Structure 1
Amino acid sequence: MPPLRTLLAMPVALALLALTPAASSAPTAPATDALLPLLVTAGGAPAAALMAREEPGTHYARAGRGISRADHFRAGSITKTFIATVVLQLAAEHRLALSDTVEQHLPGLVHGAGNDGRALTLRSLLTHTSGLNDFSAETKGLTPLSPLQAVRIALTHPPAEPGRFAYSNTNYVLLGMVIEQVTGHSYATEAERRIIAPLDLTGTSFPGARTSLPSPHGRAYAADGTDVTELDPRVAGAAGELVTTLADLDRFYAALLGGRLLPSRLLHEMRDTRAAHGLYGMGLFPQKLPCGITVWGHNGRITGSYVRTAATVDGRRVLTFRVNTTAVTDPGLEPALLAAEFCPRTP
C-alpha cells in the first residue's frame, strides 16, 4: 500500500495529467479549472471558487453547489494585509515609525508574565516576531472579544523566544489599537478611507459586531458540517474581521503590489522577510513554487471560510480561491493550484 503522502498526492497528480493539452483547435481551459473540483472531492469542501486576474481580464470558476461569483464571505487573516498597509501608510506620513515601541503608543498596556511593551517595536508586531502569545489559541476563534480583552488573554502567558517568528493574532489586534491611537479613528474607518473607497472595493467591509453577511452570500460550514454562516466577527477583530469578495481581493492585491497604495520604499519593506527568517514580511508572505516563481499574498482562515490570495511580485497577475468551510483537508491542493496558475505550462 502506498504511503499516506503518496495517496494524498495521487488526486493532484491525476489532475495534472489531465492538464496536458490535447491536439485541438478549441481554446485550452485554464490549468486551475481541472484542479478546482479537487477542493471538493479531495479537500472536503462543500464548494469552491476562484478568480484569476491578469491583463487583459479575469477568469472565474467554481465547483460544488451554493457558491457564486458575487458572494460575500469572511476573509479571516487576509485582514492583516489591510491593517499592515494602513500602518505603513501612517509611517509614510511620519505619524509613526516602525521602530516605535508599543509602549510609546499604548502606554502601560503590554506588561506582565514577562511581556514588556517597552522592548517591542511596531515592526515586531508587523512581522510576528514580538513573541506575544496568540489569544486565539485559547479562545479557538469562537469567543467574541474586545481588543483589550484579547490582549489581556495573551498577556497571561509568557512570550516566546524574542526575535523568533511566531504567528500571533495578538500582534494585529495591537496594531489596530495603535491605528486608533495615532489617528483618532478605528482601524476600520481608516482602512475604509485609505483603501476600500479609493480602490472602489464595493464588496469589502469591516462588519464590527454584525453577525450576518451582506447579500449575496452562500452558506458557511464548520468542519463537522454545522452551518456557521452567522458569526460574530469580534472573534478575530483587527486580525481577521474582514468581509469581502473574490473580485475585491484580486483588485486590492493588484493595487498594493503594483505600487498604488504605498511608496516604493515601504512596499519593499513590506516584502522584506529577513526579520522573520524568510517566512513573513509585513502582512504578506512569499511562497516559492516548484517552477522557481515566488508569489506574494496571504491566506485567511476563520470558522466556515478559508481563502488564499497570491500574486506576482508586481501585482500584474493575481489568483484568489476560497472554500466555504474552515480548511482544505488535503494540504497538497493549495500549492498545486498556485503552481497551475503561475507556473508556465509545458507544451
Structure 2
Amino acid sequence: MMNRRHFLSAAGALVVLPAGIARAGVASWDAALDQAFAAGGAPGLGGMIVGPQGAIWTGARGVRRAGVADAVTANDQWHLGSNTKAMTAALYGRLVDQGQARWDASLSSLLPDVAIDPAWRDVPLTAVMGHVAGLSDQTAMGTAWLMTARGDARSLSDQRRALAEAFLAVPPAGTPGTFAYANGNYVLVGAVIERITGRPWEQVMQTDLFQPLGIESGGFGAPTGAQPWGHSRGRAVDPAGPVSDNPLAMGPAGTVHMTLADYGRFLSVFLNGGDDWLSADSRTRLTRPMGNGQPPYAGGWIVAEGQPWAGGPALTHDGSNTMWHVSTWVAPGTQRAFVAVSNDGEAGRAACQALIPGLIRAT
C-alpha cells in the first residue's frame, strides 16, 4: 500500500498524494493548467499526473457546456477517443496471458470461419495492431458506412463481424509493412476478441478491464447526465443526439469515456508492471513497435524514442471524435504519465498539447 500524506482539493476532486509530493508541486501543476486553459480557448480543460498507484494530481478548469455556467470538475467523465485503442490491445494481451490467444496468431487462425483473401491469411494480428497490415478504412468504413451505420439494427458484434468480413474479403488496399493509421484495424481486433470470448467487446471491457482495475465510471459513447458535452466548431453537441459520437460499432477503436482518476488506473498498468493484471511479457509486447512502420506504433501507443525527460522511450497517443480531445504521454522510466483532456475537438487540441509540456516542466 502506498504511503499517503496529503489531501488536497483540486476543482472539486479529492486528490490523495503519496509521500514525497510537495504542495509546491501541486501549485506548479495548477499553474500549468491555468496557463494552458487561459491560452487555449476551450470550454473545458482537465489534466492529470499518474504514478504507479494511479492519479497523484488532477485538475479541471472551465465549463461543461459553452454558454452555461456549469463548471467542469476533475471528477467528470471525458471521452477518450482513439486512446481506447490501448485498452483494446491490452484486452488481447489478457487473452494471451489466459492461454486463449497467441501473439504470433494469424488472421486466418483467429477468424477461421471468415472467408479471407489469400493475401491476409498469414498476416499476424500484431501487424493489424501496429497499423502496418495494409488495411484502409475506405474499404469498409468510408463515408457511406459512416452515414448509415447508426441505423444498423444488427448487434454491435454482428456489425463488427460484417466489417471484418468486408475488410478481409479483398486484398489489402494499402502497402503491407507501411504505417497507415486506420480505425478499422482496431475494429478488426475487437472482432477477434469477440470471436475468442463469444461475448461483445463492451462486455469484455466491463468484466476484464474495468472491473479488475477498479474503473467504475467507464462507459461507451458520449457521457450522459450531469457531465460535460462535447463541442464541434464551438457549439455544444447534445449527448442524446444522433451525432454525439462515432457509430458504436467503432467501439474498440475509440468510444470509451471515464473520469480522469479511472483513466489513471488503466495507465498505471504501464508504470507498475501490470500489478498482476497483465503479465510482464504482454506489457513488453504492447509497448514495443509492432513492425517497422513510421512512426513506430505498438499496441495502441506511438513509441517516442529519445525523450530525455522520460528517462527513456515514452508512449504517447491522442484521441478525438472531433468533439473531444485527449493527449496522453506515459514515461515508464520516470514512473509518471501525463494526461490532458478537453470537451472541444478543435480548441481543445491546442489546449491539451499546451498543457502536457507544462505539466512535464512542472514535475
TM tier, smaller: 0.7 to 0.9
Following TM superposition, by how much is the alpha carbon of 1:319 offset from its aligned partner in structure 2, in angstroms? 2.2
What does residue range 1-347 of structure 1 map to in structure 2 within 5 Å? 27=24, 30-37=27-34, 39-54=36-51, 58-66=56-64, 67-107=72-112, 109=114, 111=116, 116-135=119-138, 138=143, 143-144=149-150, 146-148=159-161, 150-151=163-164, 158-205=172-219, 207=220, 213-230=223-240, 231=244, 233-234=247-248, 236-259=250-273, 260=275, 261-273=277-289, 275=291, 276-277=293-294, 279-287=296-304, 291-293=308-310, 294-313=313-332, 316-328=335-347, 334-343=352-361
> Structure 1 residues 65, 323: CA separation in 2 closer, same or farther (over 3 Å shift)?
same
- Aligned partners of 1:251, 1:330: CA distance in 2, in Å? 23
Consecutive unaligned residues in structure 2, runs of 5 or more: 1-22, 65-71, 153-158
> Structure 1 residues 281, 127: CA separation in 2 closer, same or farther (over 3 Å shift)?
same
- Aligned partners of 1:330, 1:83: CA distance in 2, in Å? 23
> Structure 1 residues 212, 96: CA separation in 2 closer, same or farther (over 3 Å shift)?
closer
- Aligned partners of 1:174, 1:220: CA distance in 2, in Å? 27
- Aligned partners of 1:330, 1:226: CA distance in 2, in Å? 16
SS at match of 2:208: helix
SS at match of 2:186: helix
Consecutive unaligned residues in structure 1, runs of 5 or more: 1-25
Structure 2 counterpart of 1:91, one-letter code = V
Contact between 1:298 and 1:309, CA under 8 Å: does it hold in 2?
Answer: yes
> Structure 1 residues 82, 315: CA separation in 2 closer, same or farther (over 3 Å shift)?
farther
> Structure 1 residues 70, 140: CA separation in 2 closer, same or farther (over 3 Å shift)?
farther
Contact between 1:249 and 1:320, CA under 8 Å: does it hold in 2?
Answer: no
1:21 matched to which residue of 2? none
- Aligned partners of 2:306, 2:353: CA distance in 1, in Å? 7
TM-score, length basis structure 1: 0.77
Contact between 2:229 and 2:343, CA under 8 Å: does it hold in 1?
Answer: yes
- Aligned partners of 2:42, 2:126: CA distance in 1, in Å? 36
SS at match of 1:198: helix
Following TM superposition, by how much is the alpha carbon of 1:329 offset from its aligned partner in structure 2, in angstroms? 6.6
Structure 1 counterpart of 2:137, one-letter code = D
Q: CA RMSD in A?
A: 3.2
> Structure 1 residues 328, 224: CA separation in 2 closer, same or farther (over 3 Å shift)?
closer
Residues 80-106 of structure 1: CA distance to partner in whole angstroms, max 9, x if unpaired? 111101111111223222222212222
Contact between 1:76 and 1:240, CA under 8 Å: does it hold in 2?
Answer: yes
Contact between 1:221 and 1:227, CA under 8 Å: does it hold in 2?
Answer: yes
Residues 191-237 of structure 1: CA distance to partner in whole angstroms, max 9, x if unpaired? 222221111111112x3xxx662444122111242424333551622
1:14 matched to which residue of 2? none
- Aligned partners of 1:69, 1:140: CA distance in 2, in Å? 35
Structure 1 counterpart of 2:49, one-letter code = A
What fraction of aligned residue pairs are identical, expressed as a percent?
Answer: 22
- Aligned partners of 1:204, 1:123: CA distance in 2, in Å? 26
- Aligned partners of 2:95, 2:33: CA distance in 1, in Å? 39
